[in-house]
Amino acid sequence: MTTTLITADDLFRRVNHVIPSIEWATMADDVDAILRLKRERGAVILAHNYMRPEVFHGVSDIVGDSLALAREATTVEADVIVLAGVHFMAETAKLLNPSKTVLIPDLRSGCSLAESITPEQVRELRRQHPGVPVVTYVNTSAAVKAESDICITSGNAVHIIESLGVPEVIFIPDQFLAANVARQTGVKVITHPGACEVHERFTPLDIRQVRADYPDGVTVLAHPECPPEVVDEADYAGSTAQMIGFVADRRPKRVALITECSMSDNVAQEYPEVEFVRPCNMCPHMKRNTMASIRHALETMTHEVTIDPEVADRARASVERMLAVGAPPK
């Protein structure tokens, strides 16, 4: 039985709604090389929802938000995982697959949230608030996760915190996500002054301007990493996966996604009948994941993610506690 191999031309049909053929032609050599190298290395590519369309719809094998990638990472059978995202995501994949080789294409793919807090600061928060559980956003380093009781994502934060059955939590490091979650749970949150450099820049005025530009109607979806006053102006707030689910279920005529720029391109490819308005902010770290950098990672088997075993064991426990709680109800 002959197996038909996928080519760059085959993949172009997945992205031709958002990428011009002349632009795709410049990527074709890299695409064919990546497809070949994945077969040779026994590799899979996990891609976050903020990836460029050519990565998200093209060469990736598994896509999703931080929660989906964390869950899917536990089921991967490949020998090599290439994480097209940022460093904390690659660390999480390594935590859940300690025997596999995990690569990140560009070591500069950081995260303002992950860089906003250190293990020492977590220990100081524990000292100041003894007995209060530490709930940590997955957008953090393994070293910070190791100092935590349980992890959360933007998609399951309310569900996880309510499952703890406590009146108060230390919620790190995103001050805006913490504030938005607190309003939904009634649980007191002790926060840390971290923020996403993409979402903190949105303002209520941005949303009001979108509505003024489209007086015949636009549905506005905001990420909960946005400041609460921005969320208040939106029609719906949710994680990237929840935004995609909203579009899939409701099929609004016109929608604005208040989040990172590539989200609109990626969802637009799936739902060409929906008009996407793009008042977006770009994440420079996510954009370091290019076809060229992914190809280089597979050619050279760099950059491999390693975590100190003692740190890894404690960090893995906080992630596994989150996964054990299960997915939030729909």
Confidence bin at 17 (pLDDT 50/70/90): confident
- State the pLDDT at residue 279: 83
Q: Which of 107-121, 241-255, 265-279 has the lowest mean pLDDT?
A: 265-279
In this predicted model, which residue has the larger pLDDT, 279 or 291?
Answer: 291
Scan for tokens 């979108």, then name that residue. 210
From 308, 327, 321, select the one nearest 151 (Cα to Cα).
Answer: 321
From 247, 201, 218, 219, select the one nearest 49 (Cα to Cα).
Answer: 247
Confidence bin at 3 (pLDDT 50/70/90): low
> What is the chain's Cα-based Rg?
20
Give me the mean pLDDT over the 35-53 stretch.
96
Q: Which CATH class is domain 8-109+286-300?
A: alpha beta
- State the pLDDT at residue 328: 85
Give me the mean pLDDT over the 238-255 stretch.
96
- State the pLDDT at residue 234: 98
How far is 181 from 179, CA to CA, in rounded Å?
Answer: 5
Read off the pLDDT of residues 98-122 as tens digits, 9 standing for 90 and up.
999 999 999 999 999 999 999 999 9
At 105, is the secondary structure helix, strand, or coil? coil
114-196 fold: Rossmann fold (3.40.50)
- CB contact at 8 A, 322 and 129: no
Read off the pLDDT of residues 124-170 as tens digits, 9 standing for 90 and up.
999 999 999 999 999 999 999 999 999 999 999 999 999 999 999 99
pTM for the model stands at 0.93
CATH code of 199-277, in short, is 3.40.50.10800
How far is 118 from 86, CA to CA, in rounded Å?
Answer: 17
How far is 189 from 201, CA to CA, in rounded Å?
Answer: 23
How far is 328 from 37, CA to CA, in rounded Å?
Answer: 37
Confidence bin at 1 (pLDDT 50/70/90): very low
- State the pLDDT at residue 222: 98
- CB contact at 8 A, 139 and 114: yes
- State the pLDDT at residue 2: 45
What does the block give as tokens for 237?
Answer: 């707030």
At how many degrees (to 10) do helices 66-73 and 87-96 cross?
A: 30
pLDDT above 60 for 5: yes
Where in the chain are the domains? Answer: 8-109+286-300, 114-196, 199-277
Q: Is 8-109+286-300's fold the same as 114-196's?
A: yes
3-state helix, strand, coil in the chain (%, to 5): 50, 15, 35
At 128, is the secondary structure helix, strand, or coil? helix
- State the pLDDT at residue 69: 86
User: If you average pLDDT over every residue of the chain, what do you get?
Assistant: 95
- State the pLDDT at residue 120: 98
- CB contact at 8 A, 68 and 50: no
